[in-house]
Amino acid sequence: MIKLIETEGNKFWRNRLSGSSIFQKFVFQYIKALKTYICPVEYEIKPHQKLNLGLKEIWQYREMLFFFTWRDIKVKYKQTVLGFAWAIIQPLLLMAIFSLAGAALNIPSESLPHPLFTYSALTLWMIFSTGLTSAGNSMLSNANIIRKIYFPRLIIPISSVLTSLFDFLMAFIILIGMLIFYHDRITFDLGKFLLLFPVSIIITVISTFGIGSLLAALTIKYRDFRYVTPYLVQILMFVTPVIYPISIFHFTGAKYILAINPMYSAVELFRSGFNGQMLEWKLVGISLFFAILFFIIGIYYFRKTEAYFADLA
Amino acid sequence: MMKPILEIKSISKKFLIHHNKQGQAYMSMRESITSVFKRNSSVSEEFYALKDVSFNVEPGECIGIIGKNGAGKSTLLKVLSRITPPTKGTIISRGRMASLLEVGTGFHPELTGRENVFLNGSILGMIRKEIQAKFDEIIDFSGTEKFLDTPLKFYSSGMQLRLAFSVAAFLEPEIMVIDEVLAVGDAEFQKKCIGKMEDVNKNGRTILFVSHDLNAVQNLCRTAILLKDGQISMAGESDAVINHYLHSGSVATNTWTQKADSNHPHFKNIHVNLEGTQPNLKLIIQSGIKCFPEMMPSFIAFDIFSKMGIPLGQAIPKLEPFIVPGNTEIILTTEIELNGFVPGDYYLDAWIGPHFSETYDWQKECIEFSIIDSPQINRTYPHPASHGFFVPPSKLL
């Protein structure tokens, strides 16, 4: 940490530099600005703070973010026999059920084997569902810290999303195994996969984070959302093409409505690397637009109300 | 001349008290939806926890903040540590601030002692390298090295507290804001912590310290601020401020007035004053009573309760019914000796009736008063609730 109180050395340089060339003054100002950026020497507490993402502040509190995430991951699997294996077992069990149902009911799967079709979407879906559920509850479960310590509140939903991303990494290893196992039954396009896979992760993270922070801010004020969130997650799962492809709808209007779901584009982009299907760009575009819209609304509402979280928690 | 490290400029903090919501801080959606349609459905009252508070803190100063319960001390600390924003005014801070409104914030029962030191340290604003560098010292200070890798839930509460204190004791911010955290923990450990805080202050750190333990404030701080009803009532040398606090017309004045009307004999108003100094405190109660011609002769009684509702005693100034029937209003002055009562908040019930088994009017918890001073002059150890509510006068024969 940089010393915050003016040190003797600082004074020395200021005295030396006053009256020297403009260039030197500029350099001094630049260093000073840089120091302020890294750690604010001076800050003001006012009734109304301005609205922005507050990335600078989150960066200052990155260690706390790290520790919150680390705590959540540690605590999640404490005192379990199987430990981190649960991150894999959960989507695998769902996959087993859904692919059995899919095979039995003869649901199309875009020429992919049923297990791969559902599991690929489920890995992404788990980021969204666990992230959303824990972000929604995060403000309440951390209420004792919010009431006693200041930190940028956005850290809490961010750490919820990071925790669910950690689970995804575990589950993703299995997905790679499945892609290798089924390699002769799928049309794997490495270029497309490497390009669209990160994009789909980013969309998932953005929508989880946006909707998650909105729910977090709403839950702290209206406790009704504690009951709304689980249902919302369940309903969203059935309108996301996890167990069925969107092509089973022949009516275009229905497709457009389903594309409002931000997770639609994430799942479609993720699968397009290996399902050999053409993307419906119009639908993906709609979904992407809503992902960004929900993100902006979520962050805006969160930042607008966060100052009073300590009074409400 | 250095700039002050903290500038507090006319800070106010307003709360809205909703009267129909029984202490519910949050609202359900139904309430907020219906309140759109029903205007003025909830009676809300403005309450200023802080009113126009301004002061400066110079680097290296240690300031004690004292005042009665509800004077706004904790709200001031919360505003200073950015937990809740002020309604008006600004604060300029020129240093890294750590607030210690509670020890062990963020402790997780499932994590081990070692893990909790890191988590708690980081929540309190230490960086990882700092914690690593001080880790051995922290553990040494707490005396829990044997249980380092045991989950916290298996610790005794005393051990948890000591671990929590030890992390806090090794904080080294420029400004440290401390709430009543020393009120808990055993006496020996408290002493250790105060010693540690003195060291911290000697190293040039700035400390803001809120406490009911006037002795600790006197020992630690050269300057003190007395808050009363959200305003600064006095600031200056801590000895002078504490003295003023202890003798400012003693401790409590409170008035209660009956708003409703009834056709039974009842209390119209009650006014209470604490007079004298410890150990000879007296509670002077002035009560206005409305009498009726058709009533039976009556007498009065006052019950004293602790803040937790434990009955402590009943004062009956006169046992035989002495209030005679008539269409009159009388004023009675009662004196209750509070010999040996320990510092704390108390409630008073007022009762009137013709017989022990018959009641005309019973005003429950109508008056609240607090005692600040210990009945034992020069006592430094606080009075824990486990030792009761009064110190019976005693002497060696």
Digit-coded pLDDT (tens) for B36-76: 555 555 566 788 889 899 999 888 888 999 887 778 888 89
Q: Could you tell me which of A203, A201, A209, A200 has the C-alpha nearest to residue A297? A: A209
> Which of A5, A10, A39 would you mutate first to test chain B, the one with the most B CBs within 10 A?
A5
CA distance A141 to A68: 12
Which class does domain B253-377 fall in? mainly beta
Query: The tokens 């639609």 sit on which residue?
Result: A264
Cβ of A145 within 8 Å of Cβ of B89? The answer is no
ipTM of model: 0.75
Nearest to B118 among A67, A79, A146 (CB): A67
Number of C-beta neighbours around residue B133 at 10 A: 12
CA distance B353 to B323: 9
A72 and A206 assigned to the same domain: yes
List strand residue ranges (DSSP E) for A131-241, in order.
none
User: Count of residues for chain B?
Assistant: 397
Pairing of strands B311-315, B299-306: antiparallel
Q: Could you tell me which of A123, A196, A202, A112 has the C-alpha nearest to residue A164? A: A123
A2 and A59 assigned to the same domain: no
pLDDT tens over chain A, length 313 residues: 333 344 444 444 444 444 445 555 555 555 555 444 444 446 677 665 566 667 888 888 888 999 999 999 988 888 788 878 888 888 899 999 988 988 888 888 777 888 888 999 999 999 999 999 999 999 989 998 998 888 889 999 999 999 999 999 989 999 999 989 988 888 888 888 888 889 999 999 999 999 999 999 999 988 889 999 999 999 998 888 888 888 888 777 888 888 889 999 999 898 888 887 778 888 899 999 999 999 999 999 998 888 888 888 7
Q: How distant is the Cα of A296 from the closest Cα of chain B, in angstroms?
A: 23
Chain A contact for B25 (CB, 8 A cutoff): yes
Q: Could you tell me which of A244, A243, A77 has the C-alpha nearest to residue A166? A: A77
Q: What is the pLDDT of residue B383?
A: 79
Instruction: Compute the CA torsion angle B308, B311, B313, B316 (nearest 10 deg).
Output: 110
How many CB pairs below 8 A link A and B? Answer: 119
Cβ of A149 within 8 Å of Cβ of B105? The answer is yes
Nearest to B174 among A4, A46, A67 (CB): A4
A206 and A254 assigned to the same domain: yes
Cβ of B90 within 8 Å of Cβ of A46? The answer is yes
Number of C-beta neighbours around residue A174 at 10 A: 16
As a CATH number, domain B6-32+42-247 is 3.40.50.300
Average pLDDT over chain B, rounded to whole?
Answer: 82
What integer is the mean pLDDT of B9-17? 85
Query: A216 with A302: CB under 8 angstroms?
Result: yes
Sequence-ordered list of residues with C-beta below 8 angstroms from that of B72, at least 6 positions apart, any chain: B13, B49, B50, B53, B227, B229, B230, B231
- For chain A, list residues whose CB is within 8 angstroms of any CB belonging to chain B: 1, 4-6, 39, 41-49, 63-64, 66-67, 70-71, 74-75, 78-79, 144-151, 220-224, 307-308, 310-313
Give me the domain span that covers residue A180.
52-312
CA distance A17 to B108: 51
Q: What is the pLDDT of residue B26?
A: 57
Q: What is the pLDDT of residue A27?
A: 57
Q: What is the pLDDT of residue A14?
A: 47
Q: Taking the model in full, what pTM does it have?
A: 0.71
State pLDDT tens for residues B338-376. Answer: 888 888 878 888 999 988 888 888 888 788 888 877 888
CA distance B105 to B136: 20
A150 and A289 assigned to the same domain: yes
Sequence-ordered list of residues with C-beta below 8 angstroms from that of B261, at least 6 positions apart, any chain: none
Query: A245 with A109: CB under 8 angstroms?
Result: yes
State pLDDT tens for residues B172-213. Answer: 788 888 887 655 556 676 677 777 777 777 777 888 888 877
Q: Could you tell me which of B98, B126, B83 has the C-alpha nearest to residue A66? A: B126
Cβ of B106 within 8 Å of Cβ of A149? The answer is yes
- Which tokens in the block code for residue A68? 């919150």
Cβ of B110 within 8 Å of Cβ of A145? The answer is no
Query: A77 with A130: CB under 8 angstroms?
Result: no
Q: What's the structural domain count of chain A? A: 2
Sequence-ordered list of residues with C-beta below 8 angstroms from that of A257, at least 6 positions apart, any chain: none
**Which of A241-250, A259-268, B19-28, B114-123 has the least mean pLDDT?**
B19-28
Task: Judge whether residue B305 has pLDDT over 80.
Answer: yes
Chain A contact for B89 (CB, 8 A cutoff): yes
CA distance B250 to B240: 15
A75 and A223 assigned to the same domain: yes
Nearest to A222 among B29, B78, B127 (CB): B29
Query: B393 with B340: CB under 8 angstroms?
Result: yes
Identify residue A106 by its one-letter amino acid code: N
What integer is the mean pLDDT of B289-317? 87
Cβ of A6 within 8 Å of Cβ of B2? The answer is yes
Chain A contact for B318 (CB, 8 A cutoff): no
Which residues numbered 57-86 in B keep a CB inside 8 Å of some CB on A? 59, 78-86
A12 and A77 assigned to the same domain: no
A30 and A79 assigned to the same domain: no
> Which of B57, B82, B128 would you mutate first to test chain A, the one with the most A CBs within 10 A?
B82
Domain boundaries, given as residue ranges, for chain B: 6-32+42-247, 253-377
Rounded to 5 degrees, what are φ and ψ at A164? Answer: -75, -25
Q: What is the pLDDT of residue A161?
A: 94
A161 and A290 assigned to the same domain: yes
Cβ of A71 within 8 Å of Cβ of B111? The answer is yes
Q: How distant is the Cα of B9 from the closest Cα of chain A, in angstroms?
A: 10
A152 and A228 assigned to the same domain: yes
State pLDDT tens for residues B228-284. Answer: 888 888 888 888 888 787 765 445 557 777 766 777 888 888 888 888 777 788 888
A213 and A266 assigned to the same domain: yes
